Structure formats: structure tokens, C-alpha cells
């Protein structure tokens, strides 16, 4: 397996009672499949994975595998502050048929770089399916340094990194020092605003929040960048730029769920400690949606 192209970090829809809305989840998965998305990540930051109970993790994984197995890759996020718990999540995802794992570096504990390496080694030793490292220092309080990632990339089934460091210089180092030396290893943007810049310097795609709302548009942006059509990719990027900004005016996934509610795709319901957007930001997002609604219909036709 080679992780490249457009992957959607799918939201987890909840009903008014706060339970997982299974019917809506299936509809969202099928919408992504219809858009030609290359793979879907479940239970990540956008999927509120840290607030999902273990039996609910199994439910989401079961639905994902049922809908997508043999069509596009199913990636299950297994991030946890505890290595032991992360290994348990990883083994369960593998057992249930996931194609690959997204593994967030352990948050809250702030391990040393050696601790980070040993964490990923323990997971790699425990499963046989591919692993994508998820480096997101703004949520974990610890950066996976390039030298450490280089060691992790030597592990047998580590094949990619989702780079959310917001540091383009670091991303360039990862491309140059790791991806160029390991043909199996790919570098994916974990932040929509860096998708085009990262691909311009040799990155391989994105794990996108925005593609929850406009999967066709994000797919075309990435596909054109892959093909070297940077003029067209740049035009799409700038068309999407207001939505990219709007999707992060509050903590993800608060804004993207609200935008999706405006589009009639899901309810803007969350698990505490996440809560609805402020009235001011809800108004801003409504105006943004109205201004950018054509991006949904234009790219889907």
C-alpha cells in the first residue's frame, strides 16, 4: 500500500441524543466514495476520536469496513496517551479489517524523542498492517522531530506521515531526508492550508478536513498537483481558501460540522468538551457557506 492522494478525515455524526448517527455516517461515506476520494480516516481529531467510547470505535470501524473494504483504504486512528492502550486499539482495528492505521503521537504525557520512537516501535511490533504517523504538536504538546521520524520510518510497516506541524521547513526536511531515501514513505499534509505548498516541494497529498464538505474540489486540487498542473491546482486552492480559513475559526471539527449542517449533510452536534460555535462565528460561517455554496455544486457536476 502507498498512501498518496486525497484522504478525508471524516467527521463522526451524532444525533440529537448524542449517539452515533449510523445512517448519516453511511451516507457520508458513500458521498466520499462517489467523489473519488482515495481513502478515509476515521476517529481522528476531526472524528472526535478521543471522545468516542470503545464500543463506539468498534461500531464506526465495522461500518467503515463494511462500506469500503476492497474499494478504498480504511484508516483507523488509534491515538492515545498510553502505548498499551494504543496497541490494543491498533490490534482491534486490524482484527476488524482496517487497511491501515493512523497513529497520533501520544498526547499529554510529552514523552522524549526516544519515548516517541519506542511508542511507535511497540505499535509496529504489534500489528502487520501499515502505519501512518500523525504529527500534530498543537494537540500533543510534542513535535516528532525529523531525526526521530527518520528512525520511525525504518520500522517495517511505517509507510507515511500526516504532517500537521504547521512548519513548512520541517515538512521539506521530511520530504528531502526521509521520503527521498525511502520510496515506500509518503508525506501527507494534515492541514488544508499546506496541501498545495507541501505538494509543490514533493509531498504526496493530504488528509483533509475540508473534503468533508467539498470532496470533489479537494480531490481535483490534489490530482492536478500530482499531475504537475500547478496553474489549475493553484486556481482551485485560491477558490477554496476562504473555506479553508473558515473551517478553522474555532476548534476543529466545530466549524466543518456547522458548514455541513448548512449543506444538509449532518447535524452540528458534538461531544463535550467540544460545543457549538459562538453566535458570531455561526453567522460568519453561514455567510461564508452562502458565498461558497457554488463550490459544492460546480465540482460535483
Give tens-digit pLDDT for 107-139.
Answer: 888 999 999 999 999 999 999 999 999 999 888
**Does the pLDDT of residue 75 top 90, yes or no?**
yes
Of the residues 19, 84, 108, 162, only one is catalytic, namely 162
Distances (CA, A) of 90 to 80, 124, 152, 153, 172: 11, 9, 17, 18, 29
**Grid cell in block for residue 50:** 478521543
Angle, helix 83-95 to helix 113-126, in steps of 10 degrees: 30
pLDDT band with cut points at 50, 70 and 90 for residue 299 = low
Fold of the CATH domain 5-229:
TIM Barrel (3.20.20)
The predicted-structure confidence for 138-180, as pLDDT tens digits, reads as follows: 888 899 999 999 999 999 999 999 999 989 999 999 999 999 9
Domain positions in the chain:
5-229
How many separate helices (H) and strands (E) can be counted in the chain? 13, 8
**Grid cell in block for residue 67:** 462500506
What's the pLDDT score for residue 135? Answer: 96
**By the 8 A CB rule, do 211 and 8 touch?**
yes
The predicted-structure confidence for 195-212, as pLDDT tens digits, reads as follows: 999 999 999 999 999 999
pTM of the model: 0.95
- What distance in Å separates the CA atoms of residue 166 and residue 189, rounded to the nearest whole number? 9
Share of the chain above pLDDT 70, in %: 98
Of the residues 7, 95, 134, 299, only one is catalytic, namely 134
What's the pLDDT score for residue 296? Answer: 74
Phi and psi (nearest 5°) for 6? -110, 115
Told to judge if 7 belongs to the known catalytic residues of this protein, a careful annotator would answer: no
**Does the pLDDT of residue 301 top 70, yes or no?**
no
What's the pLDDT score for residue 298? Answer: 65
Q: What is the DSSP string of 231-244?
A: HHHHHHHHHHHHHH
Average pLDDT estimate for 232-258: 97
Average pLDDT estimate for 226-230: 96
Buried b (16+ CB within 10 A) or exposed e, 51-90: ebeeeebebbbebbbebbeeebbbbbbbbbbebeebbebb
pLDDT band with cut points at 50, 70 and 90 for residue 295 = confident
Told to judge if 134 belongs to the known catalytic residues of this protein, a careful annotator would answer: yes
What value does the mean pLDDT of the chain take?
A: 95
**Does the pLDDT of residue 87 top 70, yes or no?**
yes
Out of 90-99, 267-276, 286-295, which region has the weakest mean confidence (pLDDT)? 286-295
**Does the pLDDT of residue 270 top 70, yes or no?**
yes
What's the pLDDT score for residue 300? Answer: 64
pLDDT band with cut points at 50, 70 and 90 for residue 223 = very high
What's the pLDDT score for residue 201? Answer: 97
Amino acid at each position: 500500500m502507498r498512501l498518496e492522494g486525497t484522504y478525508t478525515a471524516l467527521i463522526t455524526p451524532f444525533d440529537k441524543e448524542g449517539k452515533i448517527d449510523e445512517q448519516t455516517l453511511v451516507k457520508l461515506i458513500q458521498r466520499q466514495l462517489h467523489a473519488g476520494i482515495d481513502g478515509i480516516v476515521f476517529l481522528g481529531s476531526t472524528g472526535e476520536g478521543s471522545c468516542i467510547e470503545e464500543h463506539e470505535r468498534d461500531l464506526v470501524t465495522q461500518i467503515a469496513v463494511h462500506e469500503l473494504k476492497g474499494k478504498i483504504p480504511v484508516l483507523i486512528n488509534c491515538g492515545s496517551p498510553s502505548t498499551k492502550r494504543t496497541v490494543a486499539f491498533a490490534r482491534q482495528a486490524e482484527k476488524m479489517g482496517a487497511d491501515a492505521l493512523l497513529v497520533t503521537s501520544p498526547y499529554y504525557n510529552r514523552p522524549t524523542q526516544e519515548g516517541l520512537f519506542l511508542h511507535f516501535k511497540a505499535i509496529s511490533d504489534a500489528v502487520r498492517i501499515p502505519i501512518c504517523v500523525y504529527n500534530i504538536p498543537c494537540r500533543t504538546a510534542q513535535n516528532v522531530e525529523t531525526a526521530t521520524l527518520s528512525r520511525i520510518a525504518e520500522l517495517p510497516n511505517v509507510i507515511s506521515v500526516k504532517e500537521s506541524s504547521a512548519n513548512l521547513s520541517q515538512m521539506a526536511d521530511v520530504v528531502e531526508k526521509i521520503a527521498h531515501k525511502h520510496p515506500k514513505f509518503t508525506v501527507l499534509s494534515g492541514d488544508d492550508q499546506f496541501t498545495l505548498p507541501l505538494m509543490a516541494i514533493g509531498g504526496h497529498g493530504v488528509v483533509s478536513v475540508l473534503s468533508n464538505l467539498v470532496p470533489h474540489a479537494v480531490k481535483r486540487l490534489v490530482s492536478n498537483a500530482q499531475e504537475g498542473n500547478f496553474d489549475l491546482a493553484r486556481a482551485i486552492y485560491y477558490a477554496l481558501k476562504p473555506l479553508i480559513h473558515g473551517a478553522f475559526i474555532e476548534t476543529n471539527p466545530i466549524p466543518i460540522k456547522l458548514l455541513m449542517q448548512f449543506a444538509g449533510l449532518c447535524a452540528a452536534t458534538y461531544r463535550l468538551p467540544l460545543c457549538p460555535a459562538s453566535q458570531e462565528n455561526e453567522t460568519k460561517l453561514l455567510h461564508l457557506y452562502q458565498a461558497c455554496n457554488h463550490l459544492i455544486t460546480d465540482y460535483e457536476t
